[in-house]
Amino acid sequence: MQFGRITLRDAEGAILAHSLKHATGVFKKGRILSAEDVELLRAMDLDEVVAARLEADDVHEDAAAAALAAAIAGPGIRTTAAFTGRSNLIAEARGLLSVDHAVLMTLNSIDEALTVATLPPFAVLEPRQMVATIKIIPFAVSRRTLEAALAVARKATPLVRVAIFESRRVGLVQTRLEGMKEALFEKTKTAVDTRLSALGCAACEERRCAHDEGAVAEQVKDLRALGCDIVLVSGASAIVDRRDVVPAGIIEAGGQIDYFGMPVDPGNLILLAHLGTVPVIGLPGCARSPKLNGFDWILQRLLAGLPVDRSEIAAMGSGGLLKEIASRPLPRAMAVEADPVPARAPKVAALLLAAGQSRRMGSVNKLLAVVAGKAMVRHVAETLVASQAEPIIVVTGHQEDEVKAALSGLDLGFTHNPEFASGLASSLHRGVAALPEDCDAVLVCLGDMPMISPAVADKLIAAFDPLEGRAICLPTHKGKRGNPALLARRFFAEMQTLSGDIGARPLIAAYPELVCEVPVDNSAVLFDADTPEALEQLRRDETGS
């Protein structure tokens, strides 16, 4: 890749390295300069710009990020469209993050241009949570560098995956000594059941017995026969040796001791054993507490189907100090409250505006016009369903029943605009009011743009990042802005104040510093079939005639 100062006469096609203000707005860094862009810069009396120019062996940052993301993403992970050299990996289900640390180290050592960052291994993941990000530092990498990284990633098991929690039947044995209060048993069961519920399991099947080897053996065998997948044993007294009451009872039941103790505090005095294929865990006293301890780490891995062997337990020592100690700046309970919300993929809803009267089309409702065997509006709806936008709300108005019939069978929500004759803004009002409270942005789509692809929608969603000043995302083709438009939640109130038939254009014009132009190869972002001539051209393009 060539990088440095380039004279304007050689700047067409180069990638702008730093944002530049011009007479009508801002050229953001990363923009591929067109002939029109160069003329605007020349009118500013500029002679040169700092820019990059790709060479034959270079791979653009977005293509490189997308390829590497696809290579390292395993089960339970989806990748976002690449933008500005970044592609994020998002959890699709609840579970534990599994990361191949050795492969990650190798990838990050190949070249400074390639970076892969993940959450800590075995982090508990929620759906839509960001688990990793790939960032290409410069505007491009050499094909040789990228191929080396892909070769490393493809040789290994998936570098990053979600080990999904599975619902298991769990049994609990509690032993008693004379004088113990019933409240202690209830506290233990409540703590265990709370953990199980959080991991998608039903409440445990409980047994209580004397603190005696024979009684423990009998109850462990009974719970196994009942069909429990995991058996927990909470002793009236802490386990202090492999020959203590609880491990002796497990052995008497026919089980085997795998490991006693772990380098996690609290949680040191945990016992791992098995009876046939059923894991049996002798609980440490801290399992009665709702606070994080070593038992949580063992239970999470068992429910996620991950190994809990000698080497895995030994590795838990790194980060295994969980106690509240004086050297910490905050007590653990307070520190948890101070932690930021885990990064997650933005929830972007979509509005499909399908309420208009198609006045420019004459007597025909353009949205119901058949293109390639389907109503035009169905093409747009299917594109949104295939994208990462959710939910998808259709705003109906003119010929509501017919539009709904054309969209039957698709996973869509609907809201009706009785004031559809007043123009596009009234449909925006109804649509925004119908959006869920937890969505971060909305993708506003017109029903007469049937050639838009899911990739365009996903690229706009990938570009959206209000923290980096990308609160409005617009697709561009050869420097011209098109549709659909993506707008952050912060603009929802202002969208409710718009009027007439020009949509969100005034709002977008009012915030040029928050607009991100997203270049796409598809000219469909500039085309809407709102006249008989445009519809006929669309049908000719579909048939190739």
Average pLDDT for residues 473-479, to the nearest whole number? Answer: 91
Is the pLDDT higher at 504 or at 530?
A: 504
Q: How far apart are CA 261 and CA 502, in angstroms?
A: 69
Check pLDDT > 60 for residue 150: yes
Average pLDDT for residues 398-406, to the nearest whole number? Answer: 95
Q: Which of 401, 383, 379, 402 is nearest to 392 (CA)?
A: 383
Average pLDDT for residues 424-435, to the nearest whole number? Answer: 94
Check pLDDT > 70 for residue 362: no
Check pLDDT > 60 for residue 340: no
Query: Any idea which of 2-6, 56-60, 295-299, 525-529 has the lowest mean pLDDT?
Result: 525-529
Whole-model pTM?
0.82
> Quick one: angle between helices 143-155 and 61-72, nearest 10?
10
Check pLDDT > 50 for residue 330: no
List of domains in the chain: 2-53 (3.90.105.10), 58-164 (3.90.1170.30), 170-322 (3.40.980.10), 348-543 (3.90.550.10)
User: For the segment 90-111, what is each residue's pLDDT rounded down to a tens digit?
Assistant: 999 999 999 999 999 999 999 9
Q: How far apart are CA 99 and CA 318, in angstroms?
A: 15
Q: How far apart are CA 460 and CA 127, in angstroms?
A: 21
Q: How far apart are CA 473 and CA 486, in angstroms?
A: 5
Q: How far apart are CA 40 and CA 32, in angstroms?
A: 14
pLDDT of residue 329: 41
Check pLDDT > 60 for residue 336: no
Average pLDDT for residues 493-522, to the nearest whole number? Answer: 89
User: For the segment 289-321, what is each residue's pLDDT rounded down to a tens digit?
Assistant: 999 999 999 999 999 999 999 999 999 999 999
Check pLDDT > 60 for residue 333: no
User: For the segment 126-140, what is each residue's pLDDT rounded down to a tens digit?
Assistant: 999 999 999 999 999
Mean pLDDT of the chain, nearest integer: 91
Check pLDDT > 70 for residue 539: no
pLDDT of residue 186: 95
Q: Which of 485, 486, 464, 480 is nearest to 523 (CA)?
A: 480
Report the percent of the chain where pLDDT is more than 90: 77
pLDDT of residue 541: 67
Average pLDDT for residues 416-424, to the nearest whole number? Answer: 92
pLDDT of residue 335: 37
Average pLDDT for residues 496-509, to the nearest whole number? Answer: 87
pLDDT of residue 332: 38
Structure confidence at residue 389 as a pLDDT band (50, 70, 90): very high
Check pLDDT > 80 for residue 193: yes
pLDDT of residue 337: 35
Check pLDDT > 60 for residue 114: yes
Q: How far apart are CA 418 and CA 433, in angstroms?
A: 14
pLDDT of residue 45: 87
- Indicate the Cα dihedral angle 423, 428, 434, 435, nearest 10°: 160
Q: How far is CA 422 from the centre of its chain?
A: 38
